[in-house]
Structure 1
Amino acid sequence: MAIMRSVNPTTGEELATFEHDSDDVVEQKLAAASAAVPQLKAAGWARRAELMNAAADLLEADLEQVAAMITDEMGKPIAQSRGEVTKSVYAMRYYAENAEAFLSGRTLDDPSAVGATRAGTRFDPLGVVLAVMPWNYPIWQVVRFAAPALMAGNAGVLKHASNVPQAAVYLGRLFTRAGFPEGSFSTLLIGAGRVEGVIRDPRVSAVTLTGSEPAGRSVASIAGDVLKKVVLELGGSDPFIVMPSADLDAAAEMAVKARTTNNGQACINAKRFIVHTDAYAGFSEKFAQKMAQLRIGDPQDESTDIGPLATSSGRNDIVELVDDAREKGASIIVGGSFDDSADGWFYPPTVIAGITPEMRLFEEEAFGPVASLYEAASLEDALAIANSLDFGLGSAFWSSDEAEIDHAIKTIESGAVFVNGMTISYPELPFGGIKRSGYGRELSAEGIREFCNLKTVWVA
């Protein structure tokens, strides 16, 4: 029987092991999910909200335990792990309160215009939705799917990343503990090679994936073959543009947070810092100084700013990207090397300038605390650099000039533009990307509607 291992990236210590689900167990979980759908639909809004609030209460009560588990399993600094759990609790309560209004549909004021006595739309759940989720936000990524899906009346099955099995098992039990019908939400402990069979199962109605571009292509291809709805949130190489009129101290402070949150392992981390010539010297100096001052260490220590990367392969990828840039002439301003004899998969905050198109770092996503600096001759040059890649998830634009801000908002090709701030997800706002960063939306009203049938209703 295949095994999933939970390994502490700070020490390399094995924390726990879990056997993969057998085919019979997967069958039982899918059957239970399918059976739960009519029960969830029949429960109604008030009862589903009651159950969702109960699940939020359980997660909130488990906050310290779950936060410590996240940090042990994937290396996030403990304060950020607590923040992840707290945000997840908030999202659950947010959907408990707002789902009914988001899915109320509409009624034509004058149905006679279409020859009816009553006409409009309604939203119905699709059924069982498979969620293929990543390790970098092991609770939040799942909850931001599960809360709206369950509140809409769907059931969910989770295929979590193989390196966070403790989080996967915890989430697989959470909603049943809260009183949801058995099978409403469960975890499939399976490897990537078995996902296709689950997508093709006729009881599964739709799929959502957050992960790499190759994983997204694979899932979209399989789902397309069987004509099932898919939402994809894939990689990003988000631009962080700084203009001369910006508050450079505030921009540099936020730039550090935008690049290094979650140890730099988030699709929406700012990765390319595009700075106008007139602001370049001032910003780059402040930014590099602040990156160099970050404290690297045990993520369970409250004072730690940067913990380890989640996997050894992830660190190897970062090493290769940085070494490739260095060998091809880039300037390493801060960081760029580490002690490979030390325990844990640490990599220091790194700032690189002089990136050119022949370097891998120019086009590839750096999933770690590595920032690329670009100098732009003008606003149009900065926007052209920002839009030059085929990614389009988030973006940040720093300026105090309203005309520049309006132009940037209209011009930047991404799923989000944050002005004088950093890209972040909020339950109140839709989240997702364009181009190779995926399609569809999570969160807000738009997110809960993704896995519903928008049904037209016409009554003679």
Structure 2
Amino acid sequence: MAIETINPATGETLKSFEPMTDRQVAQQLSRAATGFEELRRSSYQQRSQWLRAAADILDAETDSVARMMTTEMGKTLVAARAEVGKCAAACRFYAEHGAAFLADEPADAPAVGARRAYARYEPLGPVLAIMPWNFPLWQAMRFAAPALMAGNPGLLKHASNVPQTALYLADLFARAGFPDGAFSTLLIGSDAVPRVLRDDRVRAATLTGSEAAGRAVAAIAGEQLKKTVLELGGSDPFVVMPSADIAAAAAAATTSRCLNNGQSCISAKRFLVHREVYDEFTDAFVAAMAAQVLDDPMAETSDVGPLATASGRDEVEEQVRDAVLHGARVRCGGDRPNRPGWWYPPTVVTDLTPQMRMWSEEVFGPVAGVFQVDSYADAVALANDTPFGLGANAWTADPAEQESFVQDLAAGLVFINGIVTSHPQLPFGGIKNSGYGRELSAHGIREFCNLKTVWMA
């Protein structure tokens, strides 16, 4: 895939980049290895100052960075500004809490015959981050901020359709004061990733992307005995029970499904509604989805912009077409607008059956599948009937039912009466084919650390 910026709203190629040569990549790896020596010896106080400086730069450049992201992958400008703010907040979060998260952990020294015994967290070294285009700044930042605070240099292999955002990140951390080599962007294709991952200077890897990409990276990392964290997407259920606030649930369902133009791994995609409130919820949901404004993502009034790539738009269209051919009903949307760019409208599909692709596949666009369930047990069974296990939503006012959903939904994140989202304060990650390991919170910053046991006589 070419490394280039193509405006999804128009299909126009705006800027192209030559992939790095093997020599250039080797130079970046050497910079990272050298930078690691300086970064790991810096104090937590110094690293926190650099992170705060990065946050200040992001705040000052919010509008220009947001416009760059919107131009590269089509998210609305309103959403892009919010993403920049979230990245600044993550930098400040780890600047404030990173030292405490990585503080030495005392052990019972007398019990082990020591004068002093403790565990300490130490950085592993350069970490390769293979990131997707859907949240081009946030996906990279939720790795970069904790990794840098822990003392690990970052090597970013970003998606090929967001090269300007990728280059901006390297420039951001350099201007914030981090040592040379602390963060580098590798403008390379996915075919070059195996060689980089096998390089001895790379000590670990993290990937957010497809299941196939995760398996490939995990296989190489396993062969090389290198730590990995994988976030591989999901097909998140959104369960609505009779006691739920239906109006609030329908509004939240619309927000979740249309978030980032429907291109979010943790957006609700399968809406499992109890038969007692099925008609009420579905009618409200369809009305709200149909009212979403599909227009120029730079416009402040737009709710939904284009999909990021032509192939992504075509895939979504084909999944809906397949459902219709097998008897599904399109309640709103479903027709591609006749305009330049890669547009697809907010769409609701009902009467789904196991023969349809939408029954089991993740739809990466503003398309919702609504399913009717007869009981709590049926809802849980259908919610868990997926190879993925990233996020899950449940809407119910019954306290006992809320606790049951927390226990019974097979996912890395369960949100009750709210949509799944990511916060620096909470661990983020999935189970089953959604991957393993955690980002964010104290758990995320410790993923790429050596937990060293220290015993002193």
The alignment's TM-score, normalised by the length of structure 1, stands at 0.98
Greater Cα offset, 353-362 or 295-304: 353-362
> In structure 1, which of residues 400, 418, 431 is the aligned counterpart of residue 428 of structure 2?
431
User: Within 2, Cα distance between the matches of 1:307 and 1:105?
Assistant: 47
> In structure 1, which of residues 374, 395, 410 is the aligned counterpart of residue 392 of structure 2?
395
Letter aligned with residue 388 of structure 2: F
Cα shift readout 1:22-61 (whole Å, capped 9, x = no counterpart) = 1111111100000011111111111111111111111111
What does residue range 312-323 of structure 1 map to in structure 2 within 5 Å?
312-323=310-321
Cα shift readout 1:65-113 (whole Å, capped 9, x = no counterpart) = 00000111100011000000000000001001100000113102x3111
What does residue range 354-433 of structure 1 map to in structure 2 within 5 Å?
354-433=351-430
Residue in 1 aligned with 2:46? 47
Shift of 1:3: 5.1
User: Within 2, Cα distance between the matches of 1:322 and 1:105?
Assistant: 53
Secondary structure of the residue aligned to 2:204 is strand
Secondary structure of the residue aligned to 1:193 is helix
> In structure 2, which of residues 231, 247, 256 is the aligned counterpart of residue 249 of structure 1?
247
Preserved CA contact (<8 Å) 2:2 2:160: no
Greater Cα offset, 341-350 or 201-210: 341-350
Residue in 1 aligned with 2:142? 144
Letter aligned with residue 419 of structure 1: I
Letter aligned with residue 67 of structure 1: A
What does residue range 98-177 of structure 1 map to in structure 2 within 5 Å?
98-108=97-107, 110-177=108-175
Letter aligned with residue 92 of structure 1: C
Residue in 2 aligned with 1:224? 222
Residue in 1 aligned with 2:443? 446
Residue in 2 aligned with 1:239? 237
Structure 1 vs Structure 2: percent identity of aligned residues? 55
User: Within 2, Cα distance between the matches of 1:407 and 1:353?
Assistant: 27
Cα shift readout 1:303-325 (whole Å, capped 9, x = no counterpart) = 00110000000001001100111
Secondary structure of the residue aligned to 1:147 is helix
Letter aligned with residue 322 of structure 1: V
Residue in 1 aligned with 2:304? 306
Cα shift readout 1:171-216 (whole Å, capped 9, x = no counterpart) = 1211111111101001000000000000000000000000111111
Shift of 1:302: 0.3
Letter aligned with residue 320 of structure 2: V
User: Within 1, Cα distance between the matches of 2:87 and 2:50?
Assistant: 15
In the alignment, does 2:263 pair up with 1:265? Answer: yes
User: Within 1, Cα distance between the matches of 2:46 and 2:123?
Assistant: 16
CA distance 1:234–1:3, change in 2 (3 Å): closer
RMSD, aligned CA: 0.9
- Structure 1 runs of 4+ aligned residues shifted over 3 Å read none
Secondary structure of the residue aligned to 1:46 is helix
> In structure 1, which of residues 349, 353, 376 is the aligned counterpart of residue 350 of structure 2?
353
Residue in 1 aligned with 2:24? 25
User: Within 2, Cα distance between the matches of 1:302 and 1:3?
Assistant: 31
Secondary structure of the residue aligned to 1:121 is strand
Letter aligned with residue 120 of structure 1: Y
> In structure 1, which of residues 325, 328, 346 is the aligned counterpart of residue 326 of structure 2?
328
Residue in 2 aligned with 1:192? 190
Secondary structure of the residue aligned to 2:111 is helix
User: Within 1, Cα distance between the matches of 2:106 and 2:335?
Assistant: 62
Name stretches of at least 5 consecutive residues in structure 1 with no aligned partner. none
Cα shift readout 1:320-364 (whole Å, capped 9, x = no counterpart) = 10011110111111111123x411100010101111111111111
Preserved CA contact (<8 Å) 2:121 2:446: yes
Letter aligned with residue 450 of structure 1: E
Shift of 1:235: 1.4
The alignment's TM-score, normalised by the length of structure 2, stands at 0.99
Name stretches of at least 5 consecutive residues in structure 2 with no aligned partner. none
Letter aligned with residue 284 of structure 1: T
What does residue range 260-299 of structure 1 map to in structure 2 within 5 Å?
260-299=258-297
User: Within 1, Cα distance between the matches of 2:32 and 2:174?
Assistant: 12
Preserved CA contact (<8 Å) 2:273 2:371: yes
Residue in 1 aligned with 2:4? 5
